Structure 1
Amino acid sequence: MKTLILYLSHDGQTMKIAHEIACKMGGVVEVAPLNPESAVDLKQFSQVVIGASIRYGHFHRNLYQFIEKYHLQLNQMPTAFFSVNLTARKADKNTPETNGYTRKFLQKSKWKPTITQVFAGGLYYPRYRFIDRVMIQLIMRITGGETDTTKEIEYTNWNDVYQFADRLKHQVNRA
């Protein structure tokens, strides 16, 4: 049983989550950045997991390109999708049904993952470029979030990540 975890990460939190999932799953897990130009032989995997983050209200276009290319194969095997965004820091926005970004993505997608999850991301003001820091601060002000640009806050609930990894482990064992 071999699992492939692909991720798209702007500031590293989605990558960090992907690697933590792989560690908690154990077994044979390959973790790699999602690149739609790379040829991927999905047949060598018993399960595929894709993680993607939101930046300025959108998933990266590479996610849509990859799904357009591989949705038929993905829909014929156990798969999972996890979304990472700051909106999910709020209890009423941290499920696939209540998180607007994830819900819209899943409704429009040709790919229908077996398992879906939403995780809150990290807010790392000091690491951002000036324009990103100002834009994210504005978004956080509008949404009632942290605006102190000297702070770094990790909103990710790691217990949720570990539970997701357990679900994935059980899914691949059933396949």
Structure 2
Amino acid sequence: MPTVEPGAPGPLTALSPVRLEFAQKAFIEAGGNLLLVRKSADDPFHPGRWEVPGGRLEVEADLDLDDHIRREVWEEVGLKVDPGPPFHLWQWFMPERDPRMRGGQVRVVATARSCRPVTLDASLDNQEAGDHLAEYAWVPLEEVESRELIPSLRPVVRAFLARSG
């Protein structure tokens, strides 16, 4: 194998940069219903599709993983939750939006967690502009799979329903 001088372009320089991020999704069940949120029409990736509350870790802001999921749920749907254990791990790729990483990708590694609601009065009032949420709904468990879900979330929902039923 040929050697490469330090700082010189090597065989991997042609590859697009990949940045790693971590996310958590909250599966909040109450009275046989699962809390879903629907993306707004202006969401850049999944307009109008349904998912569960959650988001990416803010390394500087989140004290630990429980704090992270509590913050995400509070921001997106205004609920307080008691985070439970993770039950599913998956990943997806997104185009990099940082112009300094032109042509790159973001690899998001995510975990799904069952969360017990401490409060039940959901609201979208706390969401940030980047959340792109149009509405929320408490959906009966038997109807969840019939919603137009974000594709990468479908196997996670099936795993959740298999545990619940």
TM-score normalised to structure 1 length = 0.29
